[in-house]
Amino acid sequence: MKQLALVFVGGGIGSVLRYLLSNMLNSSQTGIPYGTFAANILGSLLIGIILGIALKTETFSSNTVLFLATGFCGGFTTFSTFAYENHVFLRTGDFMSFALYTTASFVVGFAMVFLGMWLVRLF
């Protein structure tokens, strides 16, 4: 039950922060979902750092990893919103934004996970 509570609280905090970030960065003028992109990229970097620390040291307990990685990062990042935003690009015929957003999200997201883990190894 404790693990469920940790995921619940971490996910709630992450979701609220993603909501605030999206409100600040998403633009109805350009239609580009900068907030979702930023949340997914930052979340990818954070999970790389969190899991890198967990693998390198014994600093984080399994409950801390559950709270931070599964809960917070899971709530902060969002694949469903990313998928919906791409659906909108395709529905409106904005194939260039679809291609750029999808490619950048995957490439930069993976790069951030690797960067986070690499940074942990450096320090």
Instruction: Check residue 77 and report its DSSP letter.
Output: S
**Residues whose CB is less than 8 angstroms from the CB of residue 55 and which lie 6 or more positions away in sequence, other chains included:** 117
* Confidence (pTM): 0.94
- DSSP string for residues in 38-75: HHHHHHHHHHHHHHHHHHH-S-S-HHHHIIIIIIIIHH
Q: What range defines the domain where residue 44 resides? A: 2-25+32-122
Number of domains in the chain: 1
Q: How much is the pLDDT for 89? A: 97
Q: How much is the pLDDT for 31? A: 83
> Which stretches in the chain have pLDDT values below 50?
none
Rounded CA-CA distance 21/17 in Å is 6
Q: How much is the pLDDT for 28? A: 75
Q: How much is the pLDDT for 27? A: 77
The position carrying tokens 């990893």 is: 65
